[in-house]
Amino acid sequence: MKGRLPGSDEDGDEVTLSGVGKSRTDQRQPRPKDVVDARSNPNTTASPDQRSKQRPALEPSPARSGNSIRFNWVTPHARELPTEKKPEAFYLQQPTASTAPAATLSDHLHDKQGNGDERCDGPMVPDEITSERYSIQRSRSHGRPYSIPLLVLVTSLLGISLLCTILNSSWTRQIDYKGCRMSYMRPSYTRLREFDTEHTRFATKYSLYLYREQGIDDEQKLRGVPVLFIPGNAGSYRQVRPIAAEAANYFQETLRGGQDTVSDQHNLDFFTVDFNEDITAFHGQTLLDQAEYLNEAIRYILSLYMDPRVSARDAHLPDPSSVLILGHSMGGIVARTMLTMSNYQSNSINTIITMSTPHARAPVTFDSQIVNIYNDINAHWRRAYAQKWASDNPLWHVTLVSIAGGGLDTVVPSDFASIESLVPETHGFTVFTSGIPRVWTSMDHQAILWCDQFRKVVARALYDVIDVHRPSQTRPRAERMRIFRKWFLTGMESTTEKTLPLIEPTTLLTLEDEMSTIMPPGQRLVLRRLGETVKPHAYLLPIPLQGSPEGTRFTLLADGLLDGPGEDGRVEVLFCSVSPLQFAQNLDLPRRSIDLSEGGKGATKLMCKNAAADSALLPALATRSRLDSTHEQPNQRLLSYLQYEIEDLAEHHFVAVIDKAVKRTNAFVVAEFNDLSRFHKVQDISLSRLLAFGMSWTLPTGRPMATEISIPIVRSSLIAYKLEIMGQPCTNTPKIFAPIIRQYLTQPYESKFFTDAKYASLSIHGVAPFIPPPLRPKASDNQGLTLQFWTDPTCSSDLEVRLTADVLGSLGKLVLRYRTVFVAFPLLVMTLVLRNQFMVYDSHGVFISFAESLDCCLRRSLPLFLFLLTILSFSLKGSESSILGISWYSWFSDTPAPDFRSNDLLIGTQDSFFWFLVPLIGLICTGVCAIVHYATVTLALLLGVMYGWTDSMLFWRRQDTWRRAQPLAFEPTSPRRRMFTTAILMLLVSTFIPYQFAYLVACLVQLLTTARALRIATNVGSPASRDFYNYTHSMLLLMLWVLPINLPTLAVWIRNLTIHWLTPFSSHHNLLSVFPFIVLVETLTTGRMVPRVTGTFKHLTSLFLFGTGISAAIYGVSYAYMLHHLVNLVAAWLVIIHSTSCEWSLVRFGSFGDRCRQRNGRESRALKCSKAP
């Protein structure tokens, strides 16, 4: 039962019996010096003199106000025992003659437990109290800050080893080759100063420039089509120069032929924006500011073409009404945001090309506004393309092409560049640079701007889509999409539109028997050396009828480029028809004629179409030979590949391959018809079997020249593979060409080529974590990875192909996809550890160390939580309609419209195969938490040593003999001073500084508090000092894991200060977002230990921490900004608990400081403790 002394505080300040059956005299507390002695030796019995001196410690303290918050501080197992006084840390107080009740922590040491398993258990029964004294003393050696429990050590080593393996894999394995050539230019920039504050409120922060290439664009007047370049996150306006310089050189040297005469071709006027290297990826308001500024900039740019002082365009041409957009990185998101702004001028944007832009989701989710902006603009684009009628779609004329750099881009995961969930194929597509003809290489985040091969393709594509005779300055949408597919896609996609059925015959081919060869039906055409006949010769392949067994697909592979109409090269491919009656009656004969009859009377005339426009380019050099870009020639050797389905050739009778070489060359041509069953195979295999045993197949002798192997199960971007080709050299005839391999996906369009390779590392950007599903699912979505082989069909040896999983290479794929998880999952571990610390503290009065609590969690709660989260990952998915953003899987319901948030939760994938990711991430994050813990202990120790040295030097100089004689202790400032400091900080947060700055200050103050607490605990060695240090240390770790979420916004604010932009961000001046942290940290600087909560309210602490950990695991990756607010709620609850140890009320708020100071004075004198002599 409780033993309350007469006149004691109403809040229940109690003294706990240190044993059962002792007298009230034995229950008295020893004086401060004896506290250490009593703790160091549990069997020590106080002398009568000592006990007589202890009696004043039980004098009553002033009664608490009736308006104070009341908690029940009695533990369930001690209901029949006198309860203990709330533990406090150490204070430093000047000597005084007054006496106060002395409090001690030795009375509740019986609640502490000896070994790790017992400390993880619930409350003990009273009979166990006395027997645990020796165990508690022994456990104190394991509770030191530097102690490492065995289980924590093993787990940390495993987690860090896995992390190092993953990092090493991302740096050394599955690395794409770097094949970019350096680009050169002679840039100059003209600032448009007239675009000032009269046009936009951001004129003092941002600037608009016009690019001019020196030596070509010497005239400053505008003559061409406007193009606006938007830099990305922390990007420079100067990044426009590679593409702009190439466009100027291409116009001058190719389109105008180096002449100064005026032609119908017009150049491109490149405008660029100086954002002062703003950080847009981390701050939503900055992104909105840029979008607003750019809409006004476009309005101003279009007005320049109407000003005769600036524009020199032809009078008969319409003034431009739209601007082409080039966006890099976050600049592409700014471009899409512009179309949703209120100041957007309708139809002023209809063509957007983005490079390395994260369209699908925000690259980091530390700012709530950036997440909301992504949700808003993506919803806007999806709603627009969901409209049935074009008149209801504001984006009907807009085309969007997203270009990703591939595996070399380590800044933005190329999976995020996908726009399949936003735009239908009629209005845009995603493509990787590794598949763009004449580029064929991956690029990092910056190289995509200056890569010479790539900038040439972009410049030519821009010139092809412009039409100066239209107000929009661009061709119609469908034609623009056809041009973009021609320049950016391989030409072998199933969606590629063939031009052969759409064009009219262009060539009249006249043949006779001596100058032509007709191949037998079904026979392959093989020309090992062009020019063998020294003069032009035609080879005719009969086209089989539809449904015949001779073949369903025509393929041709030629060395070099195919000749177009009128070109004089080595080989030309024509598709011809025999129509004698049409020749006699048709007056509009083709303008071009190829006569190979030499005047013979029995000549045959064929009406033919040229197939060069449908040819796809293949690299002829080995990809590994392009690693040294300095030795690569711009005019590299190419291969041309033609592929037609038999339905596309229905109106033709022959394929004519004309050898036009006039001397012998090493160039070759191989052409054939093949049936589907021979050139295309589907390998059905389970993913588990593929990973365990791999798979292999044979390309037999007599195989088709081009074969395809589809593996539907290979779709995930998290698994990498190794491909090996084994075969004997050709024995009968010399090899015509080395094998060429192409790996490709149909959604998004990703292709990689490997030439003359015996080994290839395969990695794809297919189904990726956290990426929304496609806007309009297609049948080809389940096609998976397809491998396309071009091999010498005349070789008499078989080829063995083996595909195996690259386990170590796959680990590296986790880095980019799950880097944000190192903010979310460590918070789960941290909250579980802190929850266990509070459970033990509230039950037994001992605040165990972080390492001890982590050891307990590793034994029980943490594995259980990870197991439940693993099961949960199969049971729930994200939802747009649910309040909590969660819906449960329904295995038997029909599939509705795609839910674009279905991959937002947990590990971001619905594939049950990756169940192991949750425990794997949990293990790594546990190891990281342990490393951060010991690193923080080391830092606090160093700071404590520095503080002690500085403090002692100051005391000696002042000759403060009393201060030097005092024990190590906290010296709290007055409550009024702390309230004044907090009020000033809160005022600054509400007006000028963001709350993230105040949070950083709070973390630094907490670090110093922890360092002082560690120094006191190390030197004094009392249990109370250790408890307080463990508490401050755990709170510091909790705050440090939230700190990375706040630093990006702080960086944006500091960046704005450097450019003298002082406009505050309204979204980051919420006092409630930081006030609990400030109050909690201020409270801990006084050395006050958190009171124990032992009633019903103690479950709230566990509930807050439990909810924070679970929310961090489920929502943390996609909504990382929520983690700050969740931890803020925990801090607010701890502030409420702390407030119960000091009486206050709104009515007597003015005397709050005085009463707290008086109470702190009494408690500091009671708890002041020095080292034993």
Positions annotated as catalytic residues are: 329
Per the omega criterion (within 30 degrees of 0), is the bond before 471 cis?
no
The span from the first CA to the last CA of the chain, in angstroms, equals: 38
Tell me the two tokens of residue 9.
Answer: 């505080």
**Contact in structure between 462 and 475 (CB atoms under 8 Å):** no
Amino acid at 467: D
C-alpha 618 chain-centroid distance: 33
User: What is the 8-class DSSP label of residue 254?
Assistant: I
Q: How far apart are CA 649 and CA 646, in angstroms?
A: 5
Among 130, 133, 9, which Cα is nearest to 81's? 130
Q: How far apart are CA 375 and CA 461, in angstroms?
A: 31
**3-state DSSP assignment of residue 2:** coil
φ and ψ at residue 764, rounded to 5 degrees: -130, 165
Written as one string, the DSSP assignment of 305-371 is TT-TTTB---TTSPPP--EEEEEETHHHHHHHHHTTSTTPPTTSEEEEEEES---SS-S----HHHH
Among 330, 249, 251, which Cα is nearest to 294's? 330
Residue for token pair 């590299």: 636
Tell me the two tokens of residue 1133.
Answer: 């609850």
User: What is the 8-class DSSP label of residue 159?
Assistant: H
User: What is the 8-class DSSP label of residue 255?
Assistant: I
Contacts of 644 (CB under 8 A, 6+ apart): 498, 500, 553, 554, 614
Contacts of 477 (CB under 8 A, 6+ apart): 350, 396, 397, 398, 399, 426, 427
**Contact in structure between 852 and 142 (CB atoms under 8 Å):** yes
With 0-12 / 13-18 / 19 or more C-beta atoms within 10 angstroms meaning exposed / middle / buried, residue 43 is: exposed
**Contact in structure between 106 and 32 (CB atoms under 8 Å):** no
**Contact in structure between 293 and 204 (CB atoms under 8 Å):** no
Cβ burial 473-486 (10 Å sphere, 16+ → b, else e): bbbebeebbbbbbb
With 0-12 / 13-18 / 19 or more C-beta atoms within 10 angstroms meaning exposed / middle / buried, residue 146 is: exposed
Q: How far apart are CA 53 and CA 354, in angstroms?
A: 81
Q: How far apart are CA 600 and CA 513, in angstroms?
A: 10
Q: How far apart are CA 1172 and CA 36, in angstroms?
A: 7
